[in-house]
């Protein structure tokens, strides 16, 4: 169990170590899910994979606003799994981002 938490905590650290954001016309579901997929693909280093992601649709774009997406992750080395939420923050220019470790709640 602590091995799973360690692997998932490592993913969380990798995700927040960057300032990547998704942009374009705003669609809360597509924007949030794309951002999370890109983060996990880039920073999961082939060890952490995203097994599911779901963000709400219809969230009105409001700079300074945020919404939560549900995620499930898997460590391909150990087989450990975890699920939780990642908070997506809306910023100027129809962009979304994950701003820090407080945004990632995966167990």
| Domain assignments of the chain as residue spans, ordered by start | 2-106
Q: Model pTM?
A: 0.76
What is the pLDDT at residue 44?
85
Task: Report which of 41, 52, 42, 38 is spatially closest to residue 85, judged by C-alpha positions.
Answer: 52
Between residues 21 and 39, which one has the greater pLDDT?
Answer: 39
Distances (CA, A) of 37 to 1, 3, 41, 49: 24, 23, 6, 9
Model confidence at 46: pLDDT above 60: yes
Helix 28-43 crosses helix 2-16 at what angle (to 10 degrees)?
110
């Amino acid at each position: 169990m602590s091995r799973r938490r360690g692997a998932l905590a490592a993913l969380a650290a990798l995700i927040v170590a960057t300032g990547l954001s998704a942009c374009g016309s705003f669609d809360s579901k597509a924007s949030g899910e794309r951002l999370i997929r890109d983060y996990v693909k880039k920073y999961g280093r082939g060890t952490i994979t995203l097994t599911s992601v779901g963000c709400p649709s219809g969230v009105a774009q409001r700079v300074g606003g945020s919404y939560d997406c549900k995620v499930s992750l898997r460590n391909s080395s150990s087989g450990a799994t975890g699920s939780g939420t990642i908070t997506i923050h809306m910023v100027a220019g129809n962009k979304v981002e994950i701003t820090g470790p407080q945004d990632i709640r995966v167990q």
